[in-house]
Amino acid sequence: MNKWRIKKGDTVQVISGKDKGAKGEILRVLREERRVIVKGVNVCTRHQKPSMNNPGGLIKKEQSIHASNVMIIDPNNDKPTRIGMKIIDGKKVRVSKRTGAVLN
């Protein structure tokens, strides 16, 4: 399996699909399925029955999208970028290919 360059909390942009161009934060990474859940992207409406803790009704929920459909946003110029790895001071860190900025 390939190395994962995407982590929870990263800001990403969707590069393909119905939400192309949307930006959001990664809420969850599903490594086994190679998918990620992005805040505000691929939202669907679910019907939920009432329970003791939840009043029920229509609930908006984010669905997962494939990890290949997102790119991390470069912190320096706010554009999507690929990720590389570098060893700096004995630690392995993620580096933007666009500007060389450290992402960790």
CATH code for position 40: 2.30.30.30
For residue 101, the Cα-to-chain-centroid distance in whole angstroms is 19
Q: Give 10-31 pLDDT, tens digit per residue.
A: 999 999 999 999 999 999 999 9
Determine the pLDDT at residue 1.
Answer: 42
**Structural domain count, the chain:** 2
Structural domain of residue 84, as residue ranges?
76-104
Q: Are residues 81 and 68 in the same domain?
A: no
Q: What is the mean pLDDT of residues 3-8?
A: 88
50 and 83: one domain? Answer: no
Q: Mean pLDDT for the chain?
A: 93
45 and 95 both lie in a single domain: no
For residues 27 and 50, state if they share a domain. Answer: yes
Residues 37 and 65 reside in one and the same domain: yes
Strand 43-48 relative to strand 57-62, pairing: antiparallel
pLDDT value for 4: 84
**DSSP letters spanning the chain:** -PPP---TT-EEEE-SSTTTT-EEEEEEEETTTTEEEETTSSEEEEEE---SS---EEEEEEPPEEGGGEEEEPTTTS-EE-EEEEEETTEEEEEETTT--B--
